[in-house]
C-alpha cells in the first residue's frame, strides 16, 4: 500500500489521473455517467464510495446533492483535507464527506444493511473480488445498489498504462538511466566538497556529464512508439533539472526520485493487473447471479474507444 499511501498524501489531486485535467475531479463522459446515476437517488441517502483515493467520485456525489450522507473508504492512508484548502472548489464537499482510511473493501467496517448505494470509480477491481462483493452485499440495505466503473484490459487507459510500464521499467532497470544518474550524483556530491576543482577533476566531471547526456539521448531514442516517447518526455521533465543543477545534486535526491518512479510503476502495474478481460466479466456475472436480484456487466465505449466496464448490481 506504500505506493498508494505516498501518492495520496503527497499529490494534490482528487483522483489517480494527476497528470491530466481530471486531477480537479471527474469531468466529461465519466462525470456524465455518474450524474445520471445520482439523479434519481433519494435525498439523504447514504452512499459509500469504495477505494475512493482522494475522493474524486465522493466529491462529485456530494456536490451533486448536499443532502447525501457520503462515506468514502480506501485501503490506503488517505486524508485529503490536509492537501486542500478553503480556496479550493472541492473543499466544502471534502469537509462534509466522512473519509475512512485504511479500510480495504474486503473488510468494510460499516454496519450491515446501513447503506443505500455503493459506488466505485476504478477502485472495486483492486480488491479480492468474492470477499469485496460479499462485504458490499452485506452493508447494502434492501434493494440497495452497487454501481462501479471497472478497468478493462481492452481500454485505451490500460494500453496507455502498458506503455508507461515499459518506459518506467526501462529507466529503472539495473543499468538504466536512474542508475547512471546515481553514479553522476555520487561524483557531483564528492566534487561539491572541493573549494576549487583541479584540472583532472574538471575533466572527470566533463566526461561523466557528456556520457550521461549521451546515455539520456540513447534511452530516449529506444522508444519508437509515440505514446512511449510521450511517457519518456513526461518523466524526463523531472530528471533534466536534476542534471542541469548538478551543483546541488545528491544521491539522496536521486534515491527519492527513483522511489517515486518505482511507486508510479507499482500503481500502473496494479491498474494493469486489476483490469478485467471479457472472461473475467463473464465470471463476475455468473458469480453475482446467485446472490443479487439484478446483474448487469457491460462495456462502456466512448469516442476514444473502450473506456471500462460498467457493473450494476441490485440486492
Ligand X SMILES: C[S@@+](CC[C@H](N)C(=O)[O-])C[C@H]1O[C@@H](n2cnc3c(N)ncnc32)[C@H](O)[C@@H]1O
Q: How many CA atoms lie within 13 A of 148 on its CB side?
A: 31
By C-beta, is 21 or 199 nearer to ligand X? 21
By C-beta, is 136 or 212 nearer to ligand X? 136
Residue 25 binding ligand X, by CB under 6 A: no
Residues 82/156, Cβ–Cβ less than 8 Å: no
Residue 4 binding ligand X, by CB under 6 A: yes
Segment 94-98 long-range contacts (CB within 8 Å, at least 24 positions apart): 94/55, 94/59, 96/62, 96/66, 96/70, 97/55, 97/58, 97/59, 97/62, 97/70, 97/71, 97/72, 98/69, 98/70, 98/71, 98/72
Residues 149/33, Cβ–Cβ less than 8 Å: yes
Q: Nearest approach, Cβ of 235 to ligand X (angstroms)? A: 19
Total residues in contact with ligand X, by rule CB under 6 A: 19
Q: Which of 38, 47, 48, 75 binds ligand X (CB under 6 A)?
A: 75
Stretch that binds ligand X, among 36-44, 52-60, 169-177, 242-250 (CB under 6 A): 52-60
By C-beta, is 122 or 223 nearer to ligand X? 122
Q: Which of 57, 115, 268, 308 binds ligand X (CB under 6 A)?
A: 57
**Rounded-to-integer distance, Cα 196 and Cα 176, Å:** 31
Q: Which of 51, 71, 119, 297 binds ligand X (CB under 6 A)?
A: 51
Q: Nearest approach, Cβ of 153 to ligand X (angstroms)? A: 15
**Rounded-to-integer distance, Cα 35 and Cα 60, Å:** 8
By C-beta, is 14 or 178 nearer to ligand X? 14
By C-beta, is 126 or 264 nearer to ligand X? 126
The residue with cell 489521473 is 17
For residues 99-128, which are near ligand X according to CB under 6 A? Answer: 104-106, 121-123, 126-127
By C-beta, is 129 or 306 nearer to ligand X? 129
**Rounded-to-integer distance, Cα 282 and Cα 279, Å:** 5
What's the helix, strand, coil split of the chain in %, to 5?
Answer: 55, 15, 30
By C-beta, is 21 or 224 nearer to ligand X? 21
Residues 120/88, Cβ–Cβ less than 8 Å: no
**Rounded-to-integer distance, Cα 261 and Cα 263, Å:** 5
Q: Nearest approach, Cβ of 222 to ligand X (angstroms)? A: 28
Residue 152 binding ligand X, by CB under 6 A: no
Residue 180 binding ligand X, by CB under 6 A: no
Residue 76 binding ligand X, by CB under 6 A: yes
Residues near ligand X, by CB under 6 A: 4, 15-16, 51-53, 56-57, 74-76, 104-106, 121-123, 126-127
Amino acid at each position: 500500500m506504500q505506493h498508494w499511501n505516498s501518492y495520496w498524501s503527497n499529490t494534490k489531486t482528487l483522483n489517480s489521473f494527476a497528470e491530466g485535467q481530471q486531477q480537479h475531479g471527474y469531468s466529461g463522459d465519466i462525470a456524465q455517467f455518474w450524474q445520471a446515476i445520482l439523479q434519481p437517488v433519494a435525498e439523504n441517502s447514504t452512499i459509500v464510495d469504495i477505494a475512493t483515493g482522494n475522493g474524486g467520485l465522493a466529491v462529485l456525489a456530494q456536490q451533486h446533492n448536499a443532502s447525501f450522507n457520503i462515506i468514502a473508504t480506501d485501503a490506503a492512508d488517505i486524508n485529503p483535507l490536509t492537501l486542500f484548502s478553503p480556496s479550493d472548489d472541492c473543499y466544502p464537499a471534502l469537509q462534509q464527506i466522512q473519509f475512512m482510511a485504511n479500510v480495504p473493501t474486503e473488510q468494510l467496517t460499516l454496519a450491515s444493511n446501513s447503506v443505500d448505494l455503493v459506488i466505485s470509480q476504478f477502485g472495486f477491481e483492486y480488491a479480492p473480488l468474492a470477499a469485496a462483493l460479499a462485504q458490499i452485499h452485506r452493508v447494502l440495505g434492501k434493494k440497495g445498489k452497487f454501481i462501479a466503473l471497472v478497468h478493462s484490459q481492452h481500454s485505451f487507459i490500460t494500453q496507455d498504462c502498458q506503455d508507461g510500464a515499459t518506459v518506467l521499467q526501462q529507466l529503472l532497470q539495473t543499468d538504466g538511466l536512474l542508475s547512471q544518474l546515481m553514479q553522476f550524483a555520487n561524483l557531483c556530491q564528492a566534487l561539491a566538497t572541493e573549494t576549487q576543482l583541479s584540472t583532472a577533476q574538471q575533466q572527470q566531471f566533463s566526461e561523466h556529464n557528456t556520457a550521461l547526456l549521451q546515455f539520456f539521448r540513447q534511452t530516449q531514442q529506444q522508444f519508437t512508439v509515440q505514446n512511449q516517447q510521450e511517457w519518456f518526455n513526461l518523466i524526463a521533465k523531472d530528471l533534466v533539472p536534476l542534471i542541469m543543477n548538478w551543483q546541488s545534486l545528491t544521491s539522496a535526491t536521486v534515491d527519492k526520485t527513483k522511489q517515486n518512479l518505482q511507486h508510479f510503476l507499482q500503481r500502473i502495474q496494479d491498474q494493469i493487473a486489476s483490469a478485467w478481460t471479457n472472461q473475467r466479466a463473464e465470471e463476475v456475472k455468473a458469480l453475482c447471479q446467485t446472490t443479487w436480484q439484478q446483474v448487469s456487466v457491460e462495456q462502456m465505449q466512448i469516442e476514444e474507444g473502450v473506456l471500462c466496464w460498467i457493473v450494476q448490481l441490485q440486492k
